Amino acid sequence: MQKKHRIILITSIAIVVSILLFTWVKRPKPVAVIIAPADQGEVQRTVTNTRAGTLKACRRAGLSPAIGGQISRLPVKEGDKVKQDQILLELWNDDISAQVSLAKSEILASESRIKEACVIAKVAEKEASRQTQLLKKGLASDGSAERAVGDAEARQAACQAAKSSAEVSRARLSVAQASLERTQLKAPFDGTVAEVTGELGEFVTPSPIGVPTPPAVDIIDTTCLYVLAPIDEVDAPEIKAEMPARISLDAYNKQFFNGKVRRIAPYVLDREKQARTVDIEVEFIIENDNHNMLPGYSADVEVILDSHANVIRIPTEALLEGQKVLVYDKEAKNIHEREIKTGLTNWKYTEVLEGLEAGENIVTSIDRDGVVDGASVKIETDKK
């Protein structure tokens, strides 16, 4: 009997051990999760552009001659720095230059005639005055006094005519100079020559009405740059001029620059019926930030609509539907759902108004299989 009881006991123990071993082997394995603490800091509510924006120059001019002709001077090339009123291109204009020289000569001749006529008029006026005095004393006849006065008036009229003739000569010079300027392209502002499409000896013609043609010289002021970016029509009403913004450029490895909204377009673009947008312009607050940047770079903007400082915040990627998060229990090595109340939010951070304390750890890898309320977990280092 003892032997039989021993066999039953051993068998029972073996069965229990087997069950325990099977249960231990089949137990759910801890899920690897990434956690992050709720900390204190700033949270901003922002609006971003729907498509890539473009870095643009505040001043850019595509210049072409007002008249047709042959290019005789082209003193600049692409990349040259130019000053305001510097000649960029000049058409053949020897005939007009000759007219300018002729007009200047006529002015000189007119000024000489003015001097001659007015000196004679002054002498005649003195003689008329002398004859009038003599007439009062009875030492001159009425006829001689009248002739002297008439001659003085005629000489004075000749002086005025000479002055009027000089004005006509100056006007003729202005006309010739205006015609000469129409053959020249001058820089409207200090800038950089971006493109030159003409060549020496080539003929250029003005663009026909309604038919745009490439400019002969394209000049850009790179000292002033701004970002033109499209904003979804739903977000546009909240944006106001002078609002702070952040600018980032792919060419600068997503480095952020401080900016502000300077203009909001007064109309909605409907090029895409399902994605209507409003263009906004964002300028750099610190001008040196855009040093060496090139117009045409792709750029993104974040307009800051509101900001709360020194608040409890969590990574936005940790937020579940229904304003819930998965809180990590260090002692039990598991996670559990907790409902929270949120405030401002953006793509990076969400403000927590109620439900979490600073320092509590929450799960950020919420899209992994097995990451559910009550799951056992093990902590994985975030490799981001």
What pLDDT band is residue 138 in, cutting at 50, 70 and 90?
confident
Q: Are residues 205 and 71 in the same domain?
A: yes
Q: Are residues 191 and 167 in the same domain?
A: no
- Its pTM stands at 0.65
Residue 104 falls inside a structural domain: yes
Report the CATH number at residue 300.
2.40.30.170
Q: Are residues 190 and 326 in the same domain?
A: no
Q: Are residues 169 and 142 in the same domain?
A: yes
Total structural domains within the chain: 4
pLDDT for residue 85:
92
* Residues facing 32 on adjacent strands: 378
Q: Are residues 301 and 365 in the same domain?
A: no
Query: Which tokens is 304 given?
Result: 């800051």
125 phi/psi in degrees, rounded to 5 = -65, -40
pLDDT for residue 142:
75
**What's the mean pLDDT in 31-38?**
88
As a whole number of angstroms, the distance between CA 53 and CA 51 comes to: 6
* Residues facing 26 on adjacent strands: none
Report the CATH number at residue 199.
2.40.50.100
Q: Are residues 303 and 313 in the same domain?
A: no
Residue 188 falls inside a structural domain: yes
User: In degrees to the nearest 10, what's the CA dihedral of 177, 179, 181, 183?
Assistant: -140
Q: Are residues 343 and 240 in the same domain?
A: no
- Length of the chain measured in residues: 384
Long-range CB contacts (< 8 A, 24+ apart) of 23-30?
Answer: 28/370, 28/375, 28/376, 29/376, 30/333, 30/375, 30/376, 30/377, 30/378
Residue 69 falls inside a structural domain: yes
Do the bridges between strand 31-33 and strand 377-379 make them parallel or antiparallel, or are there none, so unpaired? parallel
State which residues form the domain around 275.
48-59+223-307
Q: Are residues 193 and 81 in the same domain?
A: yes
188 burial via Cβ count (<10 Å: 0-12, 13-18, 19+):
middle
Q: Are residues 328 and 357 in the same domain?
A: yes
Give the model confidence (pLDDT) of 55-78 as tens digits: 999 899 888 888 888 999 999 999
Give the model confidence (pLDDT) of 210-234 as tens digits: 667 788 899 999 888 999 999 998 8
Residue 153 falls inside a structural domain: yes
Q: What percent of the chain has pLDDT over 70?
A: 90
Q: Are residues 70 and 202 in the same domain?
A: yes
- Number of other residues whose CB lies within 10 A of the CB of residue 49: 22
